[in-house]
Structure formats: C-alpha cells, structure tokens
C-alpha cells in the first residue's frame, strides 16, 4: 500500500512538471521558375538551422546560368518564412526568379538588361527575387517593407520583388 501511494505521488509530480513544448519547425516551399525545380524543406527547428537543409537550399538557389553554388545567409530563409506569414499564407509556395548570381552572371545581366547593380547582394548570396502566386506582388512588397529586415525592390513589369538581408532600403 505504501508503495502504491509513492507511485501515485510520483505520477503527480511528473504531470505537474512544466510541459516541454517541441521547438517550432520553420519550413519553406519553393519553386524555381528557371530550373523548374521544387523544394519543400524544414530548414530550422527552434533556433537551430539544419546544415543538410541549408546545403539543399544553397544548391536549389545556385546560379542557374553557370551552376555555381554559394553559401546563403540563412537569415534570408527566415525572411522568406516571415513574408509568407505576414501575408497570412504561412508555408505557401514561393516562386524564385533569381537566387545566387556569380560575378559572371551579374556582368552578363548588366550587359544585357537595365537596373542591375554592380555590387548586387545576389553575388553575396544575401538576396533573392521572388513572387508569391495568389498574392498581388504589390501586397507582397508592402509585407516585405513592413518587416524591415533588409532591402526591398519592386519590379512591377516583371512582376517580382527583390528582398535581401542588407541595409534597410527600398527602390
Ligand atoms: Zn534582386
């Protein structure tokens, strides 16, 4: 009988202990408009980035012209995740127009188009050009501006926004 009481007490103590909430998973779903590839990935659990997931994201965001891969600043992935939450569509599939840009590709774009910066943050793997199908791109831009996590560019003709984790600025 004494033993039973002890067990009962132990059970009470255990259930009264503060419950441990599982660390939140941060997930991204991406579609690359140039390579046609898709990625659905948990890249962070709680405060810990998952190295294998970062490798996959870096490969996914490689320079689609040259195949060069660069280590992305993972804060950019948090920014993408925050953006889908800000427009009320957490986990929605983001279309990627351009991720990492090698110096060769950046020069190629400068030679053939307009509005490409000489020291673009795409070359530091700190920038990405995106749109979110189903959300107006102007609304998506406003969400990015509201987050104040870096630079925001708006390209209405091509229907995408540029976001980066550099200084807060807009164009
Ligand atoms: Zn850009």
pLDDT, tens only, 44-94: 999 999 999 999 999 999 999 999 999 999 999 999 999 999 999 999 999
Query: Distance, CA 127 to ligand 1 centroid (Å)?
Result: 6
The pLDDT tens digits of the residues spanning 99-135 come to 999 999 999 999 999 888 999 999 999 999 999 999 9
* Domain assignment of residue 90, yes or no: yes
Residue 86 CB partners (closer than 8 Å, separation 6+) = 143, 146, 147
Q: Does the residue 1 lie in any domain?
A: no
Ligand 1 centroid to 91 CA: how many Å? 22
Label residues 83-96 b or e (16+ Cβ within 10 Å = b): bbebbebeeebbeb
Task: Say how many Å lie between the CA of residue 128 and the centre of ligand 1.
Answer: 5
Does residue 69 lie in a domain region?
A: yes
Residue 106 within a domain: yes
Does a structural domain hold residue 124?
yes
Measured in angstroms, how far is the CA atom of residue 108 from the centroid of ligand 1? 14
pLDDT, tens only, 5-44: 454 444 444 445 556 677 899 999 999 999 999 999 999 9
CA of 59 to the centre of ligand 1 (A): 18
Ligand 1 centroid to residue 31 C-alpha, Å: 16
Record the tokens describing residue 66, joined without a space: 């040259």
- Predicted TM-score (pTM) of the model is 0.86
For residue 44, what are the β-bridge partners? Answer: 26, 49
Q: Provide the number of structural domains found in the chain.
A: 1
Q: Is residue 163 part of a domain?
A: yes
Residue 48 lies in a domain: yes
Task: Please check the confidence at residue 1 and state whether its pLDDT lies above 50.
Answer: no
Answer whether residue 99 is part of any domain: yes
**Domain span at residue 47?**
24-170
What is the separation of C-alpha 141 from the centre of its chain, rounded to a whole number of angstroms? 15
**CATH number of the CATH domain containing 147:** 3.30.1380.10
């Amino acid at each position: 009988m004494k033993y039973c009481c002890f067990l009962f007490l132990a059970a009470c103590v255990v259930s009264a202990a503060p419950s441990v909430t599982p660390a939140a998973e941060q997930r991204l779903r991406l579609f690359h408009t140039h390579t046609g590839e898709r990625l659905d990935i948990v890249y962070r659990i709680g405060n810990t980035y998952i190295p294998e997931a970062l490798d996959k994201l870096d490969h996914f965001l490689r320079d689609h012209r040259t195949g060069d891969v660069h280590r992305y600043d993972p804060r950019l992935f948090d920014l993408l995740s925050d953006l889908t939450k800000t427009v009320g569509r957490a986990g929605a599939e983001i279309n990627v127009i351009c991720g990492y840009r090698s110096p060769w590709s950046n020069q190629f774009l400068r030679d053939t188009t307009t509005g490409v910066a000489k020291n673009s943050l795409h070359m530091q793997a700190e920038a990405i050009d995106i749109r979110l199908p189903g959300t107006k791109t102007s609304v998506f831009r406003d969400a990015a501006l509201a987050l104040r996590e870096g630079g925001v560019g708006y390209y209405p003709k091509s229907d995408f926004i540029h976001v980066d984790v550099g200084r807060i600025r807009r164009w």
